[in-house]
Structure 1
Amino acid sequence: MLLSSRAAFGLGACALALGAPSLARAADVNIYSSRQPALIQPLLDAFTRETGLSTATIFIERGLEERIKAEGANSPADVVLTVDIGRLDAAKQADVLQPLEDAAIEADIPAAYRDAGREWSGVTARARVLYASKERVADEAITYESLADPKWKGRICIRSGQHQYNVALVAAYLAHHGEEETRTWLTGLRDNLASAPEGGDRDQARNVAAGQCDIAVGNTYYVGLMRNNEKEPEQKEWAEAIKVILPTFETGGTHVNISGMGLARHAPNRDNAVRFMEFLATDEAQRIYAEVNYEYPLKPGVALSETVASFGELKADALPLSDIASHRARASELIDEVGFDGGPKS
């Protein structure tokens, strides 16, 4: 029996109870995803309408690559959907993906957002930006480097330095500036914090709204989620209190990361999986995925959502994501070496 894509919400628990092989018989394309089901469901529905192929998903927030590796050759996984270059690289290093040379994907997704070994590709992008108080921060250009300037002492909020989003940002800084400059910058940024890092990106917007800090580091898509959150009106108030500033590196652009995809190493439905991955790079899928998640389409020419367009023109850093991946381990070490998560020291 085939399940429609709308059956994806309950499938994770079912697969865990029945065993992984049952999932392989459940649908035409089996997706292991670290994204919440609601964030990808419109995409799955559109794919099924266009192709007639059904989809099933397992939501695995942590340990996705370990799960696939443990299942081995019997894994029902066809496609891996996840966020952040760190998770994509972890899947590659765990040897749970296979190379895919595909002309359609390579034509639609720029090379800077694809693995040189063809084991993963970006789908959409998000920028690591600043949430600035509308009342206390003037309209001004800010660089990532300037966040260590003493003028911001006691005025910055951020989540844990060891969160994957911040590790990627520090890795990008490391790729641009080298180890010693990165260590100095991390120390200065640490001492400019209003308090020790905690919470998530939305919590940082709340802190700015409450006057605990004047600027915070966060991802663009959280602003869209807060602005349009009808269930939790207080988050709309946090979003109303901030403006988005798109910082840049002094020798580059704004740091971006991705949501991405990869073809599972033992995909039992390989042809269908490739068809799904090709669909994710089309104009329709790029538009749907970007609008639902308030992210940036990676395919050139696809229009931004109204919310994302309001952030201003994004001039993305040209640093290849593979370079960021290669610097993540050392970036994480430097974050610990300066005691970043302990908060200000002076």
Structure 2
Amino acid sequence: MTKRLLPRLSRALTLSAGVIAVSFTAATAEAADVNIYTARQPELIQPLLDAFTEETGLTTATIFLDKGLEERVAAEGANSPADLIMTVDIGRLDAAKQAGVVQPVDDATLAENIPAEFRDAENEWFGLTARGRVVYASKERVDVDQITYEDLADPKWKGRLCVRSGQHPYNVALIAAYIAHYGEDAAREWAAGLRDNLARRPEGGDRDQAKAIFAGECDIALGNTYYVGKMATNDKEPEQKEWADAIKVIMPTFDNGLTHVNISGIALAKNAPNKDNALKLMEFLSGDEAQKIYAELNYEYPVKPGIATSELVNSFGEMKPDDMPLAEIAKFRAKASEIVDEVGFDNGPQS
């Protein structure tokens, strides 16, 4: 399998640079064997779909929907061509479930490949990759190598923290995890402490936080692990390599010594017209070959046990994922979002 994987990875690297979302028309839907509505950038998943087609002969078609994915599937109803929903963040997967646009899957292969903490208790969504919500720290100005999430609210970091909007799903999920571990009151106090340690109002994406550290605007930031890999290998925008080189990754932890992770994942659409083919793709994406492609090309952590991460990701140090079930964390998303607004997080520091 490794021999077959390497040439596919080579082609994947070439394809990912120029692929765009396929326009979804009736003809496209009828022609494809599996139709995918995705909130993942098409260039990140196309290499996996190409490998699936090569192995099975089944074709795929995708439509990229950064917003309103579940609303579109719901509006299409029984006539929806969507077979699969692929997205990032536990919140978005849970939103699809709550909207009633997905269906449960009882599948032995998925149960074997994907640990219970990375799938829905009712089998309505399944994680495919994990990414740690970690600390980016200046190599020059930060001399610690260990930190807890709680420590980030310590006044010693006052004026030194950068982060994207508190309402971004990645940060909402982190605050929801904090609630799950410590309760609402503690999470509210923590969010206020983070706010007052900010060097500026939240803005941009995770890469922008690394850029700000490189520019000396802040010393630490919250970001996802895979962005570091993407920056460090970005030949098209070499300035991002400088941003990555300016930071070190610190694995923050809860009191249990474990790091918060989020996921990318997949769900079977409620009215999937090509259900059998869709299940084959779900199984493929959870299997060895696809998990290796995720690791080597996207710098994500495979969820299937025994699949190695990339050498670059290994250089960050060992990540021990929090064993709090993501489905449990998802229950606190609404409260986490409320807390962001209650403390005026996106207004920036207030003291």
TM-score where L is the length of structure 2? 0.93
3-state SS of the aligned residue for 2:117? helix
Determine the C-alpha separation between the residues in 2 that align with 1:270 and 1:123: 19
Determine the C-alpha separation between the residues in 1 that align with 2:46 and 2:191: 39
3-state SS of the aligned residue for 2:349? coil
Code of the residue aligned with 2:348 in structure 1: it is G
Any gaps of 5 or more consecutive residues in structure 1?
none
**Counterpart in the other structure of 2:162:** 157
Code of the residue aligned with 1:169 in structure 2: it is L
**Counterpart in the other structure of 1:168:** 173
**Counterpart in the other structure of 2:276:** 271
Code of the residue aligned with 1:246 in structure 2: it is M
3-state SS of the aligned residue for 1:42? helix
Code of the residue aligned with 1:36 in structure 2: it is Q
Q: Give the conservation status (yes or no) of the 8 Å contact 1:9–1:57.
A: no
Percent identical pairs in the alignment equals 68
Structure 1 pair 78–225 and aligned structure 2 pair: CA distance change class (3 A): same
1:40-82 per-residue CA deviation (whole Å, 9 max, x = no partner) reads: 1110111011111111111111111111111110111111110
Code of the residue aligned with 2:273 in structure 1: it is P
3-state SS of the aligned residue for 1:278? helix
**Counterpart in the other structure of 1:65:** 70
Q: Give the conservation status (yes or no) of the 8 Å contact 1:85–1:258.
A: yes
3-state SS of the aligned residue for 2:332? helix
**Counterpart in the other structure of 2:285:** 280
Code of the residue aligned with 1:248 in structure 2: it is T
Code of the residue aligned with 1:55 in structure 2: it is T
**Counterpart in the other structure of 1:241:** 246
**Counterpart in the other structure of 2:4:** none
Say yes or no: does 1:89 pair with 2:97: no
What does residue range 173-184 of structure 1 map to in structure 2 within 5 Å? 173-184=178-189
What does residue range 284-299 of structure 1 map to in structure 2 within 5 Å? 284-299=289-304
Q: Give the conservation status (yes or no) of the 8 Å contact 2:131–2:300.
A: yes
Task: Give 2:53's match in structure 1, choosing from 48, 51, 73.
Answer: 48
Code of the residue aligned with 1:157 in structure 2: it is C
3-state SS of the aligned residue for 1:299? coil
Determine the C-alpha separation between the residues in 2 that align with 1:116 and 1:267: 21
Code of the residue aligned with 1:306 in structure 2: it is E
Determine the C-alpha separation between the residues in 1 that align with 2:206 and 2:334: 22
Deviation at 1:160, TM superposition (A): 0.5
Structure 1 pair 318–252 and aligned structure 2 pair: CA distance change class (3 A): farther
**Counterpart in the other structure of 1:80:** 85
3-state SS of the aligned residue for 1:216? strand
Determine the C-alpha separation between the residues in 1 that align with 2:193 and 2:256: 19
1:127-186 per-residue CA deviation (whole Å, 9 max, x = no partner) reads: 000110000111321000001111101110000000000000000001000011111111
Task: Give 1:208's match in structure 2, choosing from 213, 219, 225.
Answer: 213
3-state SS of the aligned residue for 1:126? strand
Q: Give the conservation status (yes or no) of the 8 Å contact 2:21–2:42.
A: no
Q: Give the conservation status (yes or no) of the 8 Å contact 2:142–2:219.
A: yes
Deviation at 1:251, TM superposition (A): 2.7
Code of the residue aligned with 1:161 in structure 2: it is G
Task: Give 2:265's match in structure 1, choosing from 260, 266, 270.
Answer: 260
Q: How many residues align?
A: 336
Determine the C-alpha separation between the residues in 2 that align with 1:11 and 1:248: 37
Say yes or no: does 1:30 pair with 2:35: yes
Say yes or no: does 1:337 pair with 2:342: yes
TM-score where L is the length of structure 1? 0.95
Determine the C-alpha separation between the residues in 2 that align with 1:157 and 1:182: 19
